[in-house]
Amino acid sequence: MFSVIKGLYRDAKNIREQDPAAKSILEVIILYQGFHILIWHRISHAFYKIKWMFLARLISQLGRFFTGIEIHPGAQIGKRLFIDHGMGVVIGETAVVGDDCCIYHGATLGGTGKDINKRHPTLGNNVMVGTGAKVLGPINIGDNVKIGAGAIVLHDIRSNVTAVGVPAHEVIKHKQDIDLKDATIK
C-alpha cells in the first residue's frame, strides 16, 4: 500500500515539475484529471491482473466518466506519466507506455482493427505524444521520441527522433545523435 501511495506522489510531483501552470503538488492531486485517471487506472489494472474483468472495466469507465480520459484496464503504464489537459486521450488494452512519457489531449494509442493479440503500440521511455496524434497498431516507438500534433503513426519509430505528418515520418534526430564536429546527422 505504501509503495502505491509513494508512486502516486511521484506522479503528482512529476506533473508539478512538468506543467508550468501547476502551482503545487496539492493542486495537482486535487485538480488535475491527468493525475486522477492514474488513480482510477491503477485500481482497475489491479482487478484486470486478477481477471476480475467486469469490475476492472467498470472502474475504468467510471474514471473515463469523471476525467474524459480512457485508459483500458489492461494497458501497462510506466512511472511518471503526464497526461496534459487530457480530454479525449484513449489508451488501448495492449498498449504499453514507458516511464516519463507525456501525452497531450486528444491523442490515441489505439488499434487498427486488423491485428490479433497485441493490437496497440508500445512507447519507450521519455516519449511525447502531441495533441491529437494517433499512434495505431502493434508498433514500437523508441526512447526519447517526439510525435508531433496531429501525426498519424502507423509504423515503428526509432529512438531519438521527432516524427510528424500524415502518415508520420521522421524529420529531426535529437541532439545526442548529431556529431557537432562534422555538423552532420548520423
pLDDT digits (tens, 9 = 90+) for 17-60: 999 999 999 999 999 999 999 999 999 999 999 999 999 999 99
Can you give the pTM of this predicted structure? Answer: 0.88
Residue with grid cell 516511464, as numbered in its chain? 99
177: pLDDT confidence band, cut at 50, 70 and 90?
Answer: low
Residue with grid cell 476480475, as numbered in its chain? 52
Residue range(s) defining the domain that contains residue 86 = 2-185
Q: SS3 letters for the chain?
A: CHHHHHHHHHHHHHHHHHCCCCCCHHHHHHHCHHHHHHHHHHHHHHHHHCCCHHHHHHHHHHHHHHHCCEECCCCEECCCCEEECCCCCEECCCCEECCCCEEECCCEEECCCCCCCCCCCEECCCCEECCCCEEECCCEECCCCEECCCCEECCCECCCEEEECCCCEEEEECHHHEECCCCEEC
5: pLDDT confidence band, cut at 50, 70 and 90?
Answer: confident
Is the per-residue pLDDT at 11 higher than 50? yes
Q: What is the pLDDT of residues 96-130, one digit of tens each?
A: 999 999 999 999 999 998 888 999 999 999 999 99
Is the per-residue pLDDT at 180 higher than 60? no
How many domains does the chain fold into? 1
Grid cell listed for 78: 510506466
CATH code for the domain of 92: 2.160.10.10
**Chain centre to alpha carbon of residue 78:** 9
Cβ-Cβ contacts under 8 Å for 111 (sequence gap 6 or more): 92, 94, 119, 120, 136, 137, 138
176: pLDDT confidence band, cut at 50, 70 and 90?
Answer: low
